[in-house]
Amino acid sequence: MAILASVFKAAPVEEVQKYVASAPRGKYARRLWFLYEMLTGSSLPMEDLKTGGYIDLIEPAEYYTVVQPRPVRRQRINDNLLGDGQFCPTIRRTEALRGFEKADLPARCRKIDLFIQACLPNNGRLSARKRASHFEFLSDDELAQMEDAIRSAYGNRETQEP
């Protein structure tokens, strides 16, 4: 966004207006029009669009966007940016980030929390019943490492004084 803001400062307003006026209902012209006004803080001397469907400002399949876009009547744009003209990160959905999405990290965090909660009453050890019902996928070495981490982080409650 900072690069676009710099370009808009250097570009003659007449050129931007001429481009937008050449195809005011075109998706690229509408996006340019919205971004110009958002980043410069000044309005182009053009009438608001009265017809046509709303389009997303940026493609959700290619970038991370807000869940609930803000409809902008003037350009008939769904403003789905993560910020505003003052601060607006744009994050491309790279293959690496898509991998994190597929990894379902919130579910993994819930599983770790369940492990901790199951170990705490047993002084940092997982009961055989809990292992069989929730953590059968752990190897003996993994289980031992995780139990050691729990005891290290929370202490051994048998040896703690009240």
Identify the pLDDT of residue 60: 96
**Closest by CA position to 4, among listed 88, 99, 106, 104:** 88
Query: How would you list the strands of the sheet with 55-56, edge to edge?
Result: 55-56, 77-79, 70-72
pLDDT at 162: 47
pLDDT band at 22 (very low <50, low <70, confident <90, very high): very high
Residue 158 has pLDDT above 70, yes or no: no
pLDDT digits (tens, 9 = 90+) for 56-111: 999 999 999 999 999 999 999 999 999 998 899 999 999 999 999 898 888 889 98
Cβ atoms of 48 and 73 within 8 Å: the answer is yes
Burial 34-60 (b: 16+ CB within 10 A, else e): bbbbbbbeeebeeeebeeeebbbbbee
| Whole-structure pTM value | 0.69
**pLDDT value of position 85:** 86
Structure tokens at 109: 């965090």
What are 100-145's pLDDT values in tens digits?
A: 989 888 888 998 899 999 999 888 899 989 888 888 888 999 999 9
Cβ distance 76 to 47 under 8 Å?
no
Residue ranges covered by each domain of the chain: 2-79, 104-154
